Structure 1
Amino acid sequence: MPQMAPLKWLTLFLFFIMIFILFNIMNYYNLNYLPSQKMMMKIKSSYNWKW
């Protein structure tokens, strides 16, 4: 029935948007960034300012 076509498009749109949001959330929270050794060591640099 042609009257039902907009409702089908709306449900498909919402379905794919929900899957897209769920996929992005899962990828965001599944990444584990390990701190590198370079970031652990703090390089201390001193500047001699001569005014």
Structure 2
Amino acid sequence: MPQMMPLNWIISFILFIVIFIIFNIMNYYIFLNNNNNNTNNKIIKNFKNLNWKW
């Protein structure tokens, strides 16, 4: 039905925005290091040399 096409585009757009926001939030918290925990000091030392090359 052509009448339902705008609704389909809006739902697809909202779904894309939600997935995009969730992806960005996960990406932020994955690379966030907390320096207060002593058990993760070895892991943090390994990640200090991690730099983007572009």
What's the TM-score, normalizing by structure 2?
0.58
What is the aligned-residue RMSD (CA, Å)?
A: 1.7
Q: For structure 1, list consecutive stretches of 5 or more residues without a partner in the other structure.
A: 37-51
The ranges of structure 1 where at least 4 consecutive aligned residues each deviate by more than 6 angstroms after the TM superposition are none
Task: Report which structure shows greater RCO (CA 8 Å, sep ≥6).
Answer: 2
Radius of gyration: which is bigger? 1
Q: Percent identity?
A: 56
Q: Is the partner of 2:23 in helix, strand or coil?
A: helix
What's the TM-score, normalizing by structure 1?
0.61
Matched pairs, number? 36
